[in-house]
Amino acid sequence: MPEQSRTPTSGSRVAIDTSVFMDYLNPEKNTNDHIDTLLSVLGKRKYQLAVDGNDRIKGEYEKQIRPIIRNRDESGFESRVLLYWLDACPRFPVPLDMGDELMTKIKGIVVERKESLDRIFVYVAIMANTKLVTNDGTHIIDRRKDLRKLAKKRDADNVNFMSSKNASEDLSNWS
């Protein structure tokens, strides 16, 4: 497919919620191997992974995904894909300020106290002006309209909040 080999523009990046990596190994959620396609294409296009500069996202990845890799055949294809995104993929760190105006406004949309990591993923996507791929329908996807409005007010026109399925289907439109 020609779209898969297309190289990104300078600075192409994406934020990927932990839920996507977790669902990657679940055939019921990774229908038609759409997450395989998504992660492979973004990797081939050399997308940078947008993360927070305080390593909260990295810590979440380590806590949730690293044990899964250890419990699988580490030489298997899925493990290698996950290891790429955890260890080898170039990072685009975004300074994180949990008390700034943007985070305060995100807290007004993602109101659940225990969802600080969801708020951090949203913050990173807006600050990096990029897409957030997430399978968290309740806290992020269902609030997409309000989150996109917030991003637009910050001139973050490239921001979008999308499920892995929608992101995979929309890959041909990614720059």
pLDDT score recorded for residue 75 = 66
Q: Tokens in use for 64?
A: 């949730």
Residue 44 structure tokens: 């081939």
pLDDT tens-digit profile of 77-108? 888 899 999 999 999 999 999 999 999 999 99
Look over the chain and give the mean of its residue pLDDT values, rounded to a whole number. Answer: 90
Q: Average pLDDT in the 99-121 region?
A: 95
Whether 31 shows a pLDDT value over 80: the answer reads yes
Domain 7-170 fold = Rossmann fold (3.40.50)
pLDDT band of 113, cuts 50, 70, 90: confident
The mean pLDDT value for 125-140 works out to: 94
Q: Is 101 helix (H, G, I), strand (E, B) or coil?
A: helix
pLDDT at 51: 98
